[in-house]
Every structure is written in C-alpha cells, then in structure tokens.
A and B are shown apart, each in its own frame.
Chain A
Amino acid sequence: AQTVTQSQPEMSVQEAETVTLSCTYDTSENNYYLFWYKQPPSRQMILVIRQEAYKQQNATENRFSVNFQKAAKSFSLKISDSQLGDTAMYFCAFTPDNTDKLIFGTGTRLQVFP
C-alpha cells in the first residue's frame, strides 16, 4: 500500500525560530515526486515545495527546505525564521510514477506564536 504518515498532529514554534515537520511514506516505486502543501484557515491548498525522488539534492524555497532521505523514505520540512503567516495545516503528499493521484498524509497543524 502507498501511504504517507505525518506523526506530529500539532506543532508550535515561536516567531523567528526554526521548526521541522516530519513525514514518512511507503511505496515500492523508484520514481515519484514529493510535495508539501500548506492549508491556512481559508482552507486553500498552497504548494510550498516539491522534490523529485531521483534528485539527491534537497529542494529549497526561500525559508522552506526539505531533508529528503530516500532510503529511509523520509521527507521532512524545515521552516526557518518562522512568521505568523506560516500558521496553517501542512500536508505532506507524494505521487508515484504509475498514478495520477496525490496521496496525502493526515497533516500537521503548525501554530506560530509571537
């Protein structure tokens, strides 16, 4: 079965600090793409960052970066210099090569405190 596990239902961080959200996944595919989506209270799904499984280099996007460990099937998201606007639900997702669909985890609710 292809699954995504986010073991942290809730996290909190103080403004300007760094926080890491964890994600593990299970697939027998060798080629796939990994994503982190952010869902603020408005409930819109916003792409944060993506990683191609065949690339060893970890993706970065401004204050957001990932730690991709393919052998361990781990894909964590690091948010540096956290801002109040980062408060949201964060979903890890992946799409294997043999399917159209995104497979989502259960999400981590991040609260950034002033």
Chain B
Amino acid sequence: EPEVTQTPSHQVTQMGQEVILRCVPISNHLYFYWYRQILGQKVEFLVSFYNNEISEKSEIFDDQFSVERPDGSNFTLKIRSTKLEDSAMYFCASSKDRNQETQYFGPGTRLLVL
C-alpha cells in the first residue's frame, strides 16, 4: 500500500540554522500539507500546497517558513533561521483532492533546536 515517507526521522540543529525537511507524498495525490505537533500539544496545520503554489497557510507559517516541490516526487519544508520554539514533530500529509478527501500522514520528522 502506498505511503507518505519523510526524511530525516530526527534532526538536531543549532538555533539560527536553516533546516530542510523532506517528504515524498503518495504518487497520485495532488494536495500536500505540513503540520506540526509541539510535544504534548495538538497537531497544528501549517500549510497546504497544490499545483506548485501555496493553497492555504496558517498564522504559524510566517516568513521563516517556505515550501517547495523541487521535482515530481519531493515536497520540502524549509525553516530559514530556526528558533527554540520550532522544536516539534513535523508531519507531511497528502490527499487526492482537497478538504473532503482523507489526508494520509507520513511518520514525521522530530526536530530539536538547541
């Protein structure tokens, strides 16, 4: 069964450094998403992406964040200058269509900013 994959599984970085989190969505899906979950808190929407552009973004997704689909398979989240409060689990998800369609999640990348 097709799955969403994410790399790396864990990332440790110093405050102020740039990180890129990578995701490979399910191949026939057209909508891609990033969510984050700070330890002990609920999952929060960051951004959705369709047809090579951002479809919707939350207040959390400020100028420090960017997303890209550099080729036909990868979907990346870049954090330009990491802060301590960016430490969280980052989940990528994909769906065949928007809103009503089920979003399938990857296993997550655990980011720790020191």
Contact = CB atoms under 8 A, between A and B. Distances in A.
A binds B: yes
Interface of A: 33, 35, 37, 42-47, 50, 52, 91, 93, 95-107
Interface string B1-27: 000000000000000000000000000
A91 B44 CA distance: 12
Interface residues of B, number: 27
Interface of B: 31, 33, 35, 37, 41-45, 48, 55-56, 58, 89, 91, 93, 98-100, 102-108, 110
Among A42, A44, A46, A99, find the residue whose CB has the most chain B CB atoms closer than 10 A. Answer: A44
Contacts of A100: 31, 33, 48, 55-56, 98-99
Contacts of A95: 99-100, 103
Contacts of B91: 45
A44 B108 contact: yes
Nearest to A103: B45
A91 B48 CA distance: 20
A43 B99 contact: no
A102 B107 contact: no
B42 A105 contact: yes
A33 B44 CA distance: 17
Contacts of A98: 99
B99 A96 contact: yes
B100 A101 contact: no
A52 to B, nearest CB: 7
